Amino acid sequence: MRKRILVTGGSGFLGSHLCERLLAQGHEVLCADNFYTGRKENIVHLLADPYFEVLRHDITFPLYVEVDEIYNLACPASPIHYQFDPVQTTKTSVHGAINMLGLAKRVKARILQASTSEVYGDPTVHPQTEDYWGNVNPHGLRACYDEGKRCAETLFFDYHRQHGLDIKVARIFNTFGPRMAANDGRVVSNFIVQALRGEPITVYGDGSQTRSFCYVDDLIEALIRFMGTEKGFTGPMNLGNPTEFTILDLAQRVVELTGAKSKIIYLPLPENDPMQRRPDISLARKTLDWEPKIPLEQGLAETVEYFRKMLGS
């Protein structure tokens, strides 16, 4: 059955891939975005599809549309962008959640919240399971995003308990792939752009901190499967790649893949930057019959090719 699906943040990195996949499944997709970090280039190839519509809208204001499902992805997701206007970042997470939950309540739509591994902060439990409450600095530079997303989760579960709303809460771990912004400050895009430009690769700290990198196609598949689970199954659910790499290892792989002659330089570690980040995806494996399929090398190769074309290098 063709559904009417709203994707907030639909012109962003993840949102544009999600819109594309939903259209391919035969659904009608409404992309809502204020283009603060989203880019029209990410969705221009979808504009000719008669079942795709774009609405310039900031979800900190109410939205009145008729839809069957809502994917709430709207929020700056990289430190450079979410720390630029931290008050607006918190408003997007909190006011945005209230407005989208209100919409879902009015039209009786199922709604999925794109939460984040940042709700775990700098974890003292490794790997992170969904029942871990986290270790977050509530007034640090990252708090606008971390605590904003934590509050959004609170709102989702309270709407579920108080109003019987059909919710899904996905905690997304580091994801990468084509359509990342070149200037978003995320580690994968940073390293690739620096390598392609022949600039030094900037590693923060000594590079021993770890991350788990999930290719975007795998992540989108998980989101759609999660949205399709039975009513009453809410999560939260970790979605990401459980294979762990050090930041220094990632830098070396990017240099090798691009054939760059860039040197690796070391800079001070940012405030509250997590030293370890790795999801326990046992729940996703059991419930969604899902785990990432695309290895890091393959995903990096696709992403490098995308940035080569973008930069004309």
pLDDT score of 313: 62
CA angle 131, 293, 110 (to 5 degrees): 50
Pair 167, 234: CB distance under 8 Å: yes
Quote the CA–CA distance of 284 and 108 in Å, as a whole number: 26
- Biggest CA-to-CA distance, the chain: 58
Tell me yes or no: is domain 4-177+215-241+276-293 CATH 3.40.50.720: yes
Output the six-digit token pair for 138. 């509530």
pLDDT of 287 reads: 98
Q: Please give the pLDDT value at position 258.
A: 95
The whole-model pTM stands at 0.95
* Ordered per-residue pLDDT tens for the chain, 313 residues: 899 999 999 999 999 999 999 999 999 999 999 999 999 999 999 999 999 999 999 999 999 999 999 999 999 887 888 889 999 999 999 999 999 999 999 999 999 999 999 999 999 999 999 999 999 999 999 999 999 999 999 999 999 999 999 999 999 999 999 999 998 888 999 999 999 999 999 999 999 999 999 999 999 999 999 999 999 999 999 999 999 999 999 999 999 999 999 999 999 988 777 788 899 999 999 999 999 999 999 999 999 999 999 988 6
Active site residues: 145
Q: Report pLDDT digits (tens) over 245-254.
A: 999 999 999 9
Q: Are 191 and 258 in contact (CB under 8 A)?
A: no
Cα separation, 147 vs 187, in Å, equals 22
Note whether 298 and 240 are within 8 A (CB): no
- Per the CB < 8 A criterion, the answer to whether 149 and 76 are in contact is no
Instruction: Tell me if 49 sits within 8 A of 107, measured CB to CB.
Output: no
* Sign of the dihedral through C-alpha 205, 211, 217, 223: negative
Q: What is the pLDDT of residue 135?
A: 94
